[in-house]
Chain A
């Protein structure tokens, strides 16, 4: 009888273990896909710096002008709410001309419905979810949902709403309006020229003067904007950042527009694995996915508290907007595939941009000593089958060995690597390393004898 119970218990444990493995495999697979595009922009290094800084007491807001958003699949606190408006009372409480704009405004049908009656929109939701993912580890950034109208009049009206809200915020020292710092626009109108739309272009300058940057996607076509036109890409505004699309190998996507003067930088939007409007994770690509990486990074920067930075945001919002754009474009990594076809020839690097911001305020000490000599930050997937990725932190450029040991500490394999200061991504091919099924320990050591922490890994 005891033996039967024991067998039953073992069977039950085996089922639970298999279910756990299945869950772990799925979870790790999702994590890998989610991490790829963020790794490319040195997001993890940027977050590491953020952890060392104080939080801006004013919560920055990012306006997303796009399709409706299925808000119920996001964390509630990420959405901005107009605290000067009483929800659904039919009165324009804050006197801004929009009745019940508590959650934002729908410019396509001039209503308060920013969720499309709760069902969202295939484009609005994933654009929002890319920004949300980037700001999720910030010290508090919120999203304002504005549903885009199709006509140029409606587009200008939606941008003017942001202008009005930030202007009110600036003029009342935060008593009214909203602290909007950036607007994401993953859309545009093909084959139009700025010279024909002066009013539309002027709104970007007006927004910039109040401290708001606009981030815009270029068309998903292999064409030179300067030859065929595009709006708003051809607007000549210091406060507009136009973004094209590259992949995680830093190649420009063939179906992405370019322009030596009209396109600023690229971001790795291709194959962004993100939350879709179905409520499930999946792929979303195109230049629409590139721009939100830049917008999210700007949100991260504004969430940092540095005394002078904070005072400048209050008193010189226009200067700060210019500075943030400078940090974004100059912090980008030069990449070959953008040579001669974009203004700054670089791909977004969130870590570099944040470092430039600290340098400007003479606070480089904040990021100088944040990395440990050697530290394994994480390993994924774990359990692993074919290959495993190790995130390894280092305080300087150096040669290291990544050792694979058994549980008794006996070294079974040793892989040499050159790591840079920051968080490095190292990929180990399990078959190449002749690792059979079992449990192993990974650790790293430098030539000077510094040894990292160790992490267990299961090979299946």
Chain B
């Protein structure tokens, strides 16, 4: 609201000059307080006038040298509270951060999100995040939900974007190739591009579509069948030209430092070996957006393979100074049909050379027997199995879906509160899930409202009479953290310590899945269970529980320093001395229950395994376990002085001895600089039990 004060009413102007929020100096006028109180809080005129008079008297008594509109507002708030008008105070208060905290952000930044560098854009983002988080907790969410988050019963992810954007999305590049690109969603603020007529432009459109979408989403942006949909544009090109295009795309997405307050786009591409059977008969979108029934994707098998290979080689080479590309995250799909294709083994050995050197690839396992043919992976670990209507979209050239919002359940907290009583534990589990559901239902209404208000223009673009973003087609994600600590607190044993504890853990997550399925039937919307990445949640919730349940809380890390964390989702404790396949067998059992996303990690430390043996290991994981999605994480030390990259977490550069080094590892579902990690995650990094594949 404009906090100005009328100059014509000047009974006290000689000593009360107000610095307004419009950056003007004006004379105090208590009528402005009356007007704003009535407008913003709906209280009666009588009370508003009484408060305004009191405020004026207080200000006069204080004989202040500096009076500003925010200061007046603070005094008004006290007067509201004195009258027990708490709701009115909530509506009238200002949002923002203390001067001290603003200074800290400006001068030091924060470490809550490892992707955030300390730069002018992120400083603006962090200050804005503060206001938007407060707004979400104060205004958008009812008190019982805001408090459930603050107490640590649940963790509402991306609160800073809660009232403005949905979470993450998987796009269908064919739609942009066929229709061109309006990066602002309307074409009114930016130039409008028609369908790409050549490969270079198609590549740029793919990169810009993700960057544009990122401005309307909080989380990851993915492109499924990336090399398949672009294969027709590679026709007639030499391998060298195709590799140049692959390089262009990867550099675009790892260098456009513009999204969400100075970050690269959180991007994924799904890479196929050739053209999968499900795509072969689909009419291909050709240069110029032309579609002919007689030309299908099956006609571009060779180009799809060449492009997949080229992308992989670019990942293998790394950037100009030899660092890996962290984004776009490459997801390689393992399909049974690929094993029959010529050159697949050779291709996968190339992929595993990238694993051995940088750890960058991710594997989506269609051999486990429970994921459908058009499953995709994106963001930190969102793995979604499309439903029947998605198949229709897939055939019609615009399959698109994502997650609206993630809310995580703090599982260990439930164990502390249920005191060993199974019945109570399952009762609390359902209760917490209902809190999560309430949050997500509010989010749905908010996003629908924003779409109507026109503040999500990329999402309201028209696709054959429907908006690009269909709120009721995306999933509602309920995550969980700390199953291992829940089991320890409830059964006395950790996940890996007994078959019974493992079984009880499976019962807990199955109950969650059953509830989500019941809700899906009841609402006609898609409720799913996901293994939360918990980059900040695992640390925040462990800290809160330690404070609230001291003596009872089971946390990992260092209690003395506060560098504590919960084990992610249904993972085995990272430091547990468990053989690799036993770990994967235990963790894999949970993957079919997590229909909204899952991920397993194989920590390979500093080793550079033989790519051929590593490929054998991948095949074994794919065929012998239920792991649906996983990555091998290699720790790396990069020397800022001599630019040498070496394996492992080292205090100094093994090449030049400099201690001016940066470490890289996978924080949760993506690689990032360790210096940006929170204390809990840093401790976890050192606790991780690596497998020696050297």
User: Are A and B part of the same complex?
Assistant: no
Residues of A at under 8 Å CB distance from B?
none
